[in-house]
Chain A
Amino acid sequence: MNRRVLIGVFDTEDAILAVTDAARRRGLKIVDVFAPYAVHGLDKAMGLQRSKLPWVCFLLGLTGAAAKVWFEYWTTASDWPINVGGKPWNSLPAFVPITFEVMVLFAGISTVLAFFGMSRLWPGRKTVVLDARVTNDRFALVLEEDSAAFDVGKVEQFLRDHQALRVEEREQEVVR
């Protein structure tokens, strides 16, 4: 499926913040914003929801820690108990350091993998770069021409009023 989009290219952080906020207020459908760095406040301007990554991190960290405590208990107290210096079979306090390390390992690696999945990033993925300069020094706002009521001329003027360097109309394949 293809869609028609209108792209405005900007060269400052202030301009992209202002135009994104204004576009959302006007009820225009924002496909995405492209930026060379994480511009603070852009998530609010785009009206994005909070990321769910902290939940992944918390739950998998907890899973890792619980699994490790069980494994340490099972190996030292159940599967093959060995008397080490007369310490109790179940030496819970001594299991804390490794449990902590495994929790961090699980939480960290799984959050990164979840991020790759959610953001559809993987090696060899076909890169669709809007403009080679959005990874360097340009910001771009992509608006979808979502209905017949979308007046290209008016929106183009709106983008130019917000200091767009360039406005471009494109046919784009819908990826997700």
Chain B
Amino acid sequence: MADVYSPLRMPLIAGHKKLATVTEDVCRPMLRPPSGLWWAGFTFAFSLMLLGVAAVSYQIATGVGTWGLNSTVGWAFDITNFVFWVGIGHAGTLISAILFLFRQKWRTSVNRSAEAMTLFAVMCAGIFPVIHTGRPWLAYWLFPYPNTRGPLWINFRSPLAWDCFAISTYFLISATFWYVGLIPDLATVRDRIAPGPRQRLFAIFSLGWNGSYRVWHHYEVLYLLLAGLATPLVVSVHTIVSWDFATAVIPGWHATIFPPYFVAGAIFSGIGMVLTLMIVARKVMNLEDYITLRHVDVMCKLLLLTSSIVALAYGTEFFTAFYSGNPYEQFVFRNRALGPFAWAYWTMVGCNVLVPQLLWFRGVRRRIGIVFVLSLLVNVGMWFERFVIIVTSLHRDFLPSSWASYRPTIVEVSTLAGSFGLFFTCFLIFCRILPVIAMGEVKAVLHHGNGKGGHS
């Protein structure tokens, strides 16, 4: 087959791969023993996770009094971490579902790992509201079930109840979507590795998949349906998270702009995390031909777009406060930019609005080192965004005599570190035991941009 390149469509996958080469390249890192670098990363992540386990056990045993909260600042670090992690998850669904509906074929190289990231991020997020309840062993009270207290039902009018349903649905649908996408690849691995317990596990989880097109035919429809369901779902999840704030009457929270503002911010932070992970993974696992500079470039453009939406939201919030004529609203925003937490506010603006402007330049988007640093800064900025929204809106309330400050305790910081430990431990294990690239999908776009074969 002659390799004829169209000037309009560059190949998505570099290096003139054959179908079998894709299988081999993706399976190779799974089948060889882990490298020293992997063990180093795993040990570090696992230790962080243990620190988190210790911190969470301590605060459950002692009570949330171990946190730096006070009666003025009743929500701070914990909810910041919750919103941060849920947001990280959103990019995975953007890549797996929304870009699928938009026929963005480059997504095939990154969707598997981005979806895995979604699952792990939502797991991390779920921990925080559960420990915030103070009595996590009663967390099942959040769901309506026939109980001996009446039965007393939950309040379906409460955004916190909505949140509970949104996050659990999001986790279940993301996990299902991810698993459905994995089935053909599990079968590929099953038919490739030597018989043994590992092969048997792949055989069980691939459900007897044999590549029959009569099954592929339904599978394609199923994938489209799940993408169609996950797309409004992901928008609804962060919309509902934003309602946790927007339905309260606190100046700085009570704003109609919150749902789109939060969804854009979530995707912004998630793309930042995808870039961080992908830049490391492509290097460590020799996947440079699959996750090419073009993929990095495209994700940088998404970062720039969502950064612009977030910047617009920051501006709009200030304008609304000014234009409303409401002194409390105006005070909150003046206090945000100039008050005691101004350093957090300007860190947020710097990382989320100013630094991403560099991405207008193609030279920057194609320089992996710079993009990596940028993606880390975006994550820092987005963490601070949630901190700023939550803490600065609360710490100086309507009554100056009750003004207070907030400072996280070592227990809270350890819990955050522990959640990063859990996230990276899960991600490192995923990289070892499952195909990190959706082989079945990459093979279908392999000839994309070549003159012959493939659908484009």
Contacts and interface: CB of A to CB of B under 8 A. Distances in A.
B188 A124 contact: no
Interface majority SS on B: helix, strand, loop or mixed?
helix
A148 interface: no
A114 B383 CA distance: 40
Interface in B137-192: 144, 150-159, 161-162, 165-166, 169, 172-173, 176-177, 180, 183-184, 187-188, 190-192
Contacts of B19: 36, 136-137
Contacts of B152: 80
Nearest to A20: B213
Contacts of B226: 108, 111-112
Nearest to B189: A135
A59 interface: no
B212 interface: yes
Contacts of B205: 123
A71 B18 CA distance: 54
Contacts of A97: 159, 162, 165-166, 236, 240, 243
B217 A80 contact: no
Contacts, number: 211
A108 B176 contact: yes
A158 to B, nearest CB: 19
Nearest to B447: A13
A128 B156 contact: no
Interface string B427-443: 00000000000011101
A5 B19 CA distance: 26
A121 to B, nearest CB: 4
B233 interface: yes
A51 B162 CA distance: 34
B18 A137 contact: yes
A116 B219 CA distance: 9
Contacts of A35: 211, 213, 216
A125 interface: yes
A112 B207 contact: no
A35 to B, nearest CB: 6
Interface string B9-26: 000000000111001000
B191 A132 contact: yes
A12 B233 contact: no
A84 B204 CA distance: 50
B220 interface: yes
A167 B347 CA distance: 67
B1 interface: yes
A101 B173 CA distance: 10
Nearest to A115: B222
Contacts of B162: 97-98, 101
Contact of B157 (A12, A76, A101, A135): A76
Contacts of B219: 38, 115, 119
Given A51-B218, A104-B232, A13 B155 contact: no
B11 to A, nearest CB: 16
25 contacts: A12-B1, A13-B447, A13-B453, A35-B211, A37-B444, A39-B216, A39-B444, A48-B217, A51-B220, A51-B222, A53-B222, A53-B225, A54-B225, A82-B155, A84-B155, A87-B157, A95-B156, A97-B240, A97-B243, A98-B162, A101-B236, A111-B225, A119-B215, A135-B190, A137-B23
Given A13-B454, A97-B165, 15 more contacts: A32-B214, A38-B444, A42-B216, A57-B225, A80-B153, A97-B243, A98-B165, A101-B162, A101-B165, A108-B176, A111-B226, A119-B215, A127-B210, A128-B210, A135-B191
Interface of B: 1, 18-20, 23, 144, 150-159, 161-162, 165-166, 169, 172-173, 176-177, 180, 183-184, 187-188, 190-192, 203-222, 225-226, 229-230, 232-233, 236, 240, 243, 439-441, 443-444, 447, 452-455
Q: A-B pairs with the 3 shortest C-beta distances? A: A125-B208, A137-B19, A75-B153
